[in-house]
């Protein structure tokens, strides 16, 4: 039986014989076949185009619903403290944001957006015992709403005196 050091040394020698290190220094350059070669034209001053930020639509909700969306799309700050969320408050917020609400079998609720340009709805389960969503469940609901519809906390604004007003940072 060979010692482990000899086995490793033998493996290293076989690997070095297989890999020719002199060839790796001379790799062929790939020729660009699409687009314009920016490096090929030294006279052209390449200025990157202005990045256009995607304008997010605003969804006008009341102050009560805004607090729910602050919990769903929680952003840590000094003054904000996350907590449980009542199921009735969640239903009110989704209604205020323009979702058509329908109770299905058991604890399943269907939310169909009416103000967004999408065709599919999303389903959430009502909590069983306490009637309140735990903080981590509310955050999961927020992540699902973000994946399904692209909703973000900054999209929700509160309406006061007939005009939209952004209330704090969400």
pTM here is: 0.62
Question: Is residue 169 pLDDT above 50, yes or no?
Answer: no
Nearest C-alpha neighbor of 65 from the set 83, 33, 90 = 90
Read off the pLDDT of each residue in 111-136 and give the average, rounded to a whole number.
Answer: 89
Read off the pLDDT of each residue in 9-30 and give the average, rounded to a whole number.
Answer: 66
> pLDDT at position 102, please?
95
Residue scoring higher pLDDT (145 or 6):
145
> 49-90: per-residue pLDDT in tens?
666 656 677 889 999 999 899 899 887 776 666 789 999 999
**pLDDT mean across residues, the chain:** 78
What burial letters (b/e) apply to 76-93, b meaning 16+ CB within 10 Å? eeeeeeeeebebebbbbb
Question: Is residue 33 pLDDT above 90, yes or no?
Answer: no
Residue scoring higher pLDDT (48 or 31):
31
Kindly list the domain boundaries of the chain, sorted by start residue.
59-165
Give CA–CA dist 20/120, Å, rounded. 57
């Amino acid at each position: 039986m060979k010692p482990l050091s000899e086995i490793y040394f033998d493996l290293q020698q076989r690997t070095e014989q297989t890999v020719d290190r002199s060839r790796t220094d001379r790799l062929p350059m790939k020729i660009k076949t699409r687009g314009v070669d920016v490096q090929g034209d030294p006279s052209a001053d390449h200025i990157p185009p202005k990045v256009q930020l995607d304008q997010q639509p605003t969804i006008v909700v009341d102050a009560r619903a805004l607090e729910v969306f602050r919990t769903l799309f929680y952003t840590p700050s000094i003054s904000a403290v996350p907590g449980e969320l009542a199921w009735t408050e969640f239903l009110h917020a989704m209604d205020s944001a323009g979702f058509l609400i329908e109770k299905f079998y058991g604890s399943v609720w269907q939310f169909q957006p009416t103000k967004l340009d999408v065709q599919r709805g999303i389903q959430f389960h009502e909590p069983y015992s306490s009637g309140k969503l735990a903080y981590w469940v509310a955050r999961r609901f927020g992540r699902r709403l973000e994946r399904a519809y692209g909703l973000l906390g900054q999209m929700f604004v509160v309406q006061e005196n007939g005009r939209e007003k952004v209330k704090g940072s969400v």
